[in-house]
Structures are given as structure tokens and as C-alpha cells.
Structure 1
Amino acid sequence: MKKSNWIWAVFALCLTLIQLPLTVQADDQTPAEQFRVGMEAGYAPFNWTQTTDANGAVPISGEEGSAFAGGYDVQIAKRIAEGLGKELVIVKTQWDGLPPALQAGTIDAVIAGMSPTAERREQIDFTDPYYESDLVVVVRKDGEFADAKSLSDLSGAKITAQLNTFHYTVIDQIPEVQKEQAMRDFSSMRVALASGIIDGYVSERPEGVTAVGANPDLKMVEFDEGAGFETNPEDVQVAVGMRKGDPDVEKVNEILAGISEEERVSLMDQAVLDQPADASGETADQGLVADFKKIIDDYGMLFLRGAGLTLFIAILSTIIGLIIGLLVGIFRTLPLSENPVGRFFQRIVNGLLTIYIEVFRGTPMMVQAMVIFYGTALAFGVSMNRTLAAVLIVSINTGAYMSEIVRGGIFAVDDGQFEAAQAIGMTHWQTMIKVVLPQVMRNILPATGNEIIINIKDTAVLSVISVADLFFQGTSAAGTNFQYFQTFAIIGVIYLVLTISATQILRFVERKMDGPSAYVKLEDINPNE
């Protein structure tokens, strides 16, 4: 293949991937006729992600046609939406992002196996419970705590639970327990347990049944009456979370009251049976190659869309960040104005730009994402599109770094060139545009390439605002199929392909900007050749 054809092929591939996110995430601003429900879609059998609409699954907002949410919570949400006369919209959201999303108005309710604890009631309102369960501890089947019957039998064990749940607080009831750091989701805890990092984790019985069904090496410890955790009734109940003062709370209570206890038990039993095959252990022991093949067959398009969104955010944000960096870098190198008023305002702007640079270089992008996305909604009532928010966050962050890179590139240009330009009557801006910036762009190209590579990888932190990038899709798949090593091995390979491809393209561009390694005299060229 000719070099020019190869370039066009790569360009076409990039264009295809960039176009994918345009169909991945729809605008989160929904009409009043919709009932927007937030859930992890990764906490089977309460909720999970699957790639078809089998067993009454509902399309996930922004991923219509490629990802669906199923489980007990989804069936309850369908009943509530029907009772309210609204269309059900599932908004896939990380667990720790559910309360902020609810308060910010990006979702109307949380139906995600959430318990109505006293701490949570201070921030949001809850309906009457729609499920009640017992607490269990999931351990390794061949571990020293497999035969535990009471909390005292777990003495000395390394136990953890999910972050921001009451499960983590009850660990203190185990005598001489080694309380480990809380983990973000159940996927992380299952991996930690299987690898021996922890001896067990606290969970609810439905999740314990799912975990044991998915991994025969695990065991669910159920306690005799009076030998287990002491809890308040609200701690083991599951309710719908809604915004403070929401008038629909009573309506939802009326709808829930119409679902009998027998029907709720039946829905949960059915959810346990309906969860994806991988999560119920049906595909176990097929071999590693077969596992990889099945994951690609089941979630390949989901991964492709995630990779397209990752590439889209990384490339567009780097371009915008470069523009920001150029503007900020050039302004910060301007000589001070001779006019006192102009000099005053120039110093003010320089001070503000310095604050911007230090803040965005000195804080993690994950924190910036939470503050910008949820803070904007809370302060101004603006529900941002997640893809737009992702581009904005990464662009501003990249701009802070690029401004310093650009400033360094400008200072690297010999002072004599500035003096020569001024000697022939060029203004500062003319000198920058016609003399300095062409050299700066070549000098900062490697650093710009590094920013693209960094942004491809750093989009993973945007999962805190539930941007459906490659990492988020991989987490969803692993939380459903329980095949963490296989799933993230595939995700790692995709990231590697993206970064290596970007590196090779950038090196090609560098060589083109450098020109040929050797030149020949015009008279040495034979016109007949």
C-alpha cells in the first residue's frame, strides 16, 4: 500500500471512531414525560448490563441498541414509570455519583438497591421500601473462614464492603476484625477476594447468591438467628431515592403498595434466573480462549463504541487544549504595556491565568470532573450532556498544561529573532504569528503528542460522571460477566492499539515537518529521469 493510501486509511478509521460517540450518548436533558432512573447497571441481581433486550431489559440512555439494563431494580422501575404515566429512561451512573446526580437534577430517582439510611435521608428523600434482605459475608470456599456460622467465627479476618454503604459500618461488629479500605464496587471486591487480598466482604443475600453462582470457589456465609449483624430495619431495606420535597414520592409509594410481597419475591427469584449466563456460571470452565471469544462476541460493539468515544474526547480535547495553551502562552509572554491602565489590567489577567494554570495542574482530573459536572447542575441548574462535559473538562485540563509547554517553546526561540523582527518593523503579534509560532509548533509537537496519549488513558477517570468511554464499558462488562482478567485484558489491548497508533501517526507528522534528511542541488537533477 502506498504511503498516501495508508494515511487515508488511518484517517478514515479515526473518522469512523470519532463519529461513533455521536450516537452513543444522547442529551441528558429529557422532557417531563420521562422518568429518569439512575443505577449502576452492575450489581446483579438488582441491576446489570446486557447487550440485548432479553427478559424485559430496558435500553440504557445514550447507548440505545448496544446496551440494556436488566434486573430486579429495572422491573420495579418499569412498574413505577407505568404508574406515573411516564417513559422509563435508565441513566447508567457510578454508585458514588448517584446522590450528586439526583441532587443536580440529571436523574429523577435512584433505584439501585440503595438503603434508606439516616445519613442519606439528610440529603435525599426515600419512598417506602420495595425489598428487604439479610446481610451475608462472601468468603473463599477453601479459606479458613468458610465454615463460619457467627460473627465471632470471623475474628481476625480481613473484611471490606462497598464505599458509601452501611455495609462498611457493620464490619466493626466483628471481633478483632481487620477492617480493610472500602472498595468502590462489587466487581473490585470479588477480584480482591478471589486473589486473596481480603478474606471476605459484606453484602446482601441476593448479591451473595449471584457471586457464588458466578464463581464456585466462593461461599456465602449466612448467620444463625442472633449470631449475625445487628442492624436497624432501614439498613436492610431497599427504597427508591428521590429529591428532597419531590411531590411524586407519595405517588411512588402508592404504586409500590400495589406490588404484593409474593410478587416482589417472584420478581427477585426471576431476576436471579435471568441474569446473564456468565454471571450464573453457565459458561465456566470453557477455557481461556473461549472466554476471550465470547466476551468479544457479546461486548465487542460496546467496546468499539467506548473506544470511539475515548478517541473522540482525547483528540478533540487536545486540539482545543492546544488552542487554549497557545492563547494563554502568548498572552503571558507579552511585554508589559507602557500605559499604566493597560499594565494594571494585564497584570490582573496574568494573575487570573496563573490561578487557572495552578488549579488545573494541581488537582486531579477526577475531582475536576465531579466539581464541574455536578457543580454546574447544582449552581446553575444546567444538566450538561456527558460527552460535552467530558470534552470541556479534558480541554481545560489540557490547556493548563499546554500553556506552560507553549510558554517554554516561545522562550526557547533565540532572542535575536525577536530583535530582528522588531528591527524590520514587526509588531509583537506579527512576530509571534510569522516568526515564532512556526518554530514553537515544531518544538512542542512531541509534547502535544504526549498529551494526546495521556488523554486517551486519562479519559478513564471520567467514569465518575458516567461517561461511557472504553474503561466504563469494560467495567460494566466485567461487572456483568464476572470475568475480570479476560475483560480487562481485552480493554488493555484496545488501549495499547489506540496509543501505539497515535504515536506512529505523530512520528510520521514529525518526519514530514522535518523534511528530507538530505537535499540535492537543483543542477544535479537530471530532467530526463
Structure 2
Amino acid sequence: MKVCKSLFALCFSVLIVFLVVAPMASAAQDTGKKIVVGLSADFAPYEFRKNINGKDEIVGSDIEIAKRVAADMGAELQIQDIAFDSLLPALDSGRIDMIISGMTPTDERRQNVDFSDTYYISRQVIVTRAEDTTKFKTMESLKGAAIGVQRGSIQQDIAKGIEGAKLSPVDKVSDIMLQLESNRVDAAVMEGPVADGQVLNHPDLAITDIQIPDSDTPMAIAVQKGNTELLGQINKTLATLKANNEVDKFVNDAFKLNSGESTGETAEQIKDKPKPNIFQIFWDYRNYYWQGIQYTLFLSAMGVLFGFIIGLIVSLLRLSQISVFRWLAMTYIEILRGTPMLVQLLIIHYGIAQAFNINFTVLESGIITLSINSSAYLAEIFRAGIQGVDRGQTEAARSLGMSYGATMRHIIIPQAIKSVLPAIGNEFVVIIKESSIVSFIGVADLMFQAQAVRSITYSALSPLIIAAAIYFVMTFILSKLLGIVERRLSASDQR
């Protein structure tokens, strides 16, 4: 019983810190004028991650433009790395002030956001495997081909115009490369300078001679609908940059930085350079993975901890004699177990911000999502544990004059928790793996860091294998620790 009391005290202490102290700390940091820029940092040379002097940085031509906009406004620049197809929801919900991520101002997008003047015009190209360049020479030759594109991009719209094409949309450019190298797709539609960098680091791929009709696409900065003040400031900065031809210089410098040419290496030397093996990648980027492990374990621990509290409360409501409480508990459980966690994450992170103007940080949104999702399953686990306690113990306690609440606190719940502890541990293991979904909104967990390493190294598969191995080690160690605890509890039952 003392253990249970200590556990509840710890849970509520952490809950108070999370709900009270953390927001106060965040508010203390939100002083001064700032501008938040959303982008997808896998679109070199416009925005990409680079290990500079041992530090992970997001760099690129779009970053230089964003820095100049912020400087002209006298504001601090903050960058949020978000999946490309989540950028517009993030802007619409007010989580970011503008999008600068090589975005094309299409008529469809203009219905929801306002765009700045064009700051760069890029070309679109077709990338395929080197041995297939003779196979694909015209747009007609792509008829019926499997085409890889980035989800939500202008390239996806272009690919839809290819007769009979089978589109394979993915979130990351590195995933497109993996599709090509594994023969999952025949070709890919990509933005010109992005394709140049990828081909430079993937000698087995090549850019075809296919000329895509009307493929020159403009790039512009997106802001919330009606934000004319910010739009005017952005356009003023862009006019100065274009008048001095600085945008082209930003793009060229970013390409050299990304390709390695800024260090004096030629394109031929870069292509001939041996690619790092999986062990080199792990060692060189061990700090990325270590940071990801910390976030993953923290998210998982908080998810199970708060899920434990909420789940226990919901299970008691589920067993209540009051029908309204039972109905509410059943509805809560069925909705959370019957909807995908990704949908829950997006509703909490973007939907609540848009509907109620409550902006959780990415970390808070991740913890809340994991907690409520876990609580629905834990509630049923607790219910099974409580119902598994011999009814005679309840009757004996009540015959001794104990109230229903005292009986549950002192007799039933401690035994129920002990009996379902292995199931709770299994839920912890599941949450560790499912926590990878929070990388979708920009939480720097293990999966997020693995994607960053993919972008930096141009290695599509090895960083994922490393992440999978780390997930296995974490869950294996946790399973063994839970086994030890279970055996100790079993030993006490046998005495």
C-alpha cells in the first residue's frame, strides 16, 4: 500500500510540473519579438541539415532569405522543421508565421493562404536509375510508369498529368531515392537543384533529358490569409534581395555547401568518394541518436505515467454504478481505441490550436497524445485486473465496516495493479515504438533524428537500420527488466 501511495504522489507531482511549471518556463522564454518559420529540412539546397563544426544546423538558401526577413523586421528567427504536407495546417493554426520551403503558389493553396512575390524560379526534372536514362527520353515514354513524388508538392501535381502514371507519394526526398534504388518506382519528378544534389551523391541515379512542358515553377513565401503587414515586410525584403541578385547567390552557395564543393572538392571527387558504412554513420552521428533516445524514453515514460493515472480513473468510471459515468468511460475508450493515433496527434496539435487558440508545444502535444491513447488501453487492463480480484475480498472488507472507496484503495486496487503489472509493462514497450509517430510534428525523437541523418548522409537505408536496432535494444532491455520485476512479485506470492 505504501508503494501505491508513493507511486500516486510521484505521478501527481510530475503532472503538476508538466502542467504548471513547464508552461511558465516556456512563457518566460517567449519574450521579445520573434518570427517563426516553418519548413521541411530535406530539400537541399533550399533547406537541409548539415553537421557544421560538430553542431546540427538547418541551412540553405531559404534559411538565408528567412534570416534577412527577420533582420529587416528586427525580430528573432525561429525555425520549425515539419513534414511538408503539415506546413499549411501549421500555418493555418497559427503555430508558425510563414512558410519558406520551396513552395509553389498554386491557385488551390491561394484559397487558404497568401503568398509573397516570387523569389526564385526553378525547373522540374525527371530522375531515374542511370541504366534507364535511354529508356525514358520523352514524357510519352513515362506512360504507365511508377512515379515517385513528395507528398503535397507541385511535383505530385505534375506527375498526375502523366497518362496512366502510378504515383507513389512519400514524405521525404530521401524516401524517393530509396524507392528508385530499390526498384519500387521507375522514375521520379523532382525540383532541379534538389535532383542535382541527390544525383551527385547517388552515382547509380541520373537526370534524364526529358523536357517537362511548362515546368518552370515559381517559389514564394506563404503567410496566413489576411496578414498584409507581414506580407508587405516580406515583399520589401525580397525586392532588395532580387535587385542585388542575392537569391541566386544564396542558392549557389547552398548547393556548394551541401555537395561538399565549398571544401574545394570537385563533382568527380565527390562521386568517387567512398560512402560511409553503417558503423561509420552510427559513430559519426551518435550524438543525434543519443538525443533521439532521450526524447523517445521521456515521451514513452510520460505517456505511460499519465496514461496510468487517466486509465485508472476511467476504469473506475467504467465500473461505476452510475450509468452516465459508465457511458462516458465507454465512449472515451471506444473513440480512442477506434481512431488512429496520427489523427489524434493532428487534432491535438493543429485542431485545438485552430479551434480554441491553445498552442501546445510539439513535446506537449506528443505527451498528451501518447497519454490519452495509452490510457484507453490501460483502462481496460485495469478493469480486467479489478474484476479479477475475488469478490469475496470486497464482501469481507464491507462486512468489516470499510466503505466502498476504502475497500478499493486498500484492498482491490493494490492487488489489481500487481496482477496486471506485466500488461502495463507491455504497454510501455508498445508506446516506445509508437512514439515514433510524434516525429511527424517535429519532435526530435529517435525517428526524427534518423531522418535528419538520412538527409545529411544521403544514405536512405542505413540510418533507419540503426534506429531499428536501437528500438530493439531499448525494448529488449525493458522486457528483461519487467521480467525480473514479475519474477520478484511471483516469488512473494509463493511464500
TM (normalized to structure 2)?
A: 0.88
The SS at the match of 1:116 is coil
Residue identity opposite 2:171 in structure 1: R
2:111 aligns with one of 122, 132, 148: 122
Asked if 1:405 corresponds to 2:388, the answer is no
2:213 pairs, out of 207, 229, 240, with 229
Q: CA deviation at 1:318?
A: 0.4
**Residue pairs, 1:162-177, within 5 angstroms:** 162-175=150-163, 177=164
Counterpart position of 1:76? 65
Q: What letter is aligned with 1:419? A: E
Counterpart Cα distance in 2 of 1:319 and 1:82: 43
Which of 376, 379, 404 is residue 428 of structure 1 equivalent to? Answer: 404
* Structure-2 residue corresponding to 1:216: 203
Q: How far apart are residue 146 of structure 1 and its match?
A: 4.1
The CA deviation at 1:202 is: 0.7
In the TM superposition, 1:449-460 aligns within 5 A as 449-460=425-436
Displacement of 1:307: 0.7
What is the one-letter code of the residue matched to 2:384? G
Partner of residue 141 from structure 1, selected from 130, 148, 173: 130
Q: Give distance in 1, aligned partners of 2:208 and 2:50.
A: 28
What is the Cα deviation at residue 518 of structure 1?
6.7
Which residue, out of 171, 188, 207, partners 1:201? 188
> In the aligned structure 1, how far is the partner of 2:494 from the partner of 2:366?
44
1:448 aligned onto 2:424: yes
Alignment pair present for 1:475 and 2:458:
no
Counterpart of 2:329 in structure 1 is 353
Give 1:16-415 correspondences, 5 Å limit: 27=26, 30-31=30-31, 33-52=33-52, 66-143=55-132, 145-146=133-134, 148-175=136-163, 177-224=164-211, 228-230=212-214, 236-246=217-227, 247-260=229-242, 262-275=245-258, 277=260, 282=270, 286=274, 290-334=276-320, 336=321, 346-415=322-391
**Closer, same or farther in 2 for the Cα pair 1:496/1:129, shift >3 Å?**
same
Per the TM alignment, residue 278 of structure 1 is displaced from its structure 2 partner at its CA by 12
**Distance across 1 between alignment mates of 2:134 and 2:72:** 44
Aligned to 2:15: none
Task: Supply the distance in 2 between the matched residues of 1:293 and 1:352 (Cα, whole angstroms).
Answer: 51
- For 1:282 and 1:485, how far apart are their aligned partners in 2? 20
| Matched letter for residue 50 of structure 1 | K
- Following superposition, the deviation at residue 386 of structure 1 comes to 1.4
State the structure with more CA Rg. Answer: 1
**Distance (whole Å) between structure 2 residues aligned to residue 259 and residue 433 of structure 1:** 68
Asked if 2 retains the 8 angstrom alpha-carbon contact of 1:45 and 1:210, the reply is yes
Letter in 2 for 1:423: S
CA distance in 1, matches of 2:173, 2:144: 22
The amino acid of 1:387's aligned partner reads L
Distance 2:98 2:483 in 1: 49
Q: CA offset at residue 396 of structure 1?
A: 0.8
The code of the aligned residue for 1:229 comes to P
Opposite residue 35 of structure 2, the aligned amino acid is F
CA-CA distance at 1:75 after TM superposition: 1.2
Moved more, 271-280 or 389-398: 271-280
SS in 1 for 2:119: strand
Q: Distance in 2 between matches of 1:423 and 1:117?
A: 74
Indicate if the aligned counterparts of 2:46 and 2:60 stay in contact, CA closer than 8 A. Answer: yes
Question: Structure 1 stretch 309-318 or stretch 298-307: which is displaced more?
Answer: 298-307
1:441 is paired with a residue whose SS is helix
Indicate the structure with greater helix content: 2
Instruction: Name the SS for the 2:101 alignment partner.
Output: coil
CA contact (8 A) 1:161 1:189 kept: yes
- How far apart, CA to CA, are the structure 2 residues paired with 1:120 and 1:298? 40
Equivalent pair of 2:119/2:242 in contact (CA under 8 Å): no
- Mapped to 2, the partners of 1:278 and 1:455 lie a distance apart of 43
SS at match of 1:181: strand
* Identity over aligned pairs, percent: 32
Q: 2:35–2:76: 8 Å Cα contact kept in structure 1?
A: yes
Task: Indicate conservation of the 8 Å contact 2:201/2:271, yes or no.
Answer: no
Count residues with an aligned counterpart: 466
Distance 2:209 2:219 in 1: 19
Kept after mapping to 1: 8 A contact 2:83/2:171: no
Shift of 1:31: 4.4
Q: Is 1:170–1:229's contact at 8 Å kept on the other side of the alignment?
A: no
Q: Distance in 2 between matches of 1:295 and 1:284?
A: 18
> Any idea what SS the aligned residue of 2:38 has?
strand
- Between the aligned partners of 1:248 and 1:208, the Cα distance in structure 2 is 32
Question: Structure 2 stretches of 5 or more lacking a match?
Answer: 1-20
Ranges in structure 1 where 5+ consecutive residues have no aligned partner: 1-21, 55-64, 337-345, 520-529
**For 1:219, what is the secondary structure of its paired residue?**
strand
Tell me, yes or no, if the aligned pair for 2:200 and 2:259 is still in contact at 8 Å.
Answer: no
Q: Which residue identity is paired with 2:481?
A: I
In structure 2, what residue type is equivalent to 1:302? Answer: Y
| Cα distance per residue 1:428-474 (max 9 Å; x no partner) | 22221222112211211111011100110001111222111100111
Closer/same/farther in 2, CA of residues 166 and 333 from structure 1, 3 Å limit: same
User: d(CA) in 2 for partners of 1:27 and 1:218?
Assistant: 46
Whether the 8 Å CA contact 2:146–2:168 is kept in 1: the answer is no
Q: Which has the higher contact order (CA 8 A, sep 6+)?
A: 1
Aligned equivalents of 1:171, 1:388: Cα separation in 2: 37
Q: Distance in 1 between matches of 2:374 and 2:394?
A: 28
Q: Distance in 2 between matches of 1:480 and 1:421?
A: 64
Residue 200 of structure 1 aligns with an amino acid whose one-letter code is A
Partner of 1:522: none
8 Å CA contact 2:177–2:460 kept in 1: the answer is no
Q: Tell me the equivalent position of 2:9.
A: none
Query: SS state of the match for residue 89, structure 1?
Result: strand
Whichever residue aligns with residue 177 of structure 2, its letter is R
* Kept in 2: contact 1:474–1:487 (CA 8 A): yes
Match for residue 394 of structure 2? 418
Evaluate the alpha carbon distance shift between residue 518 and residue 371 of structure 1 in structure 2; reply closer, same or farther with a 3 A threshold.
closer
Secondary structure of 1:149's counterpart equals coil
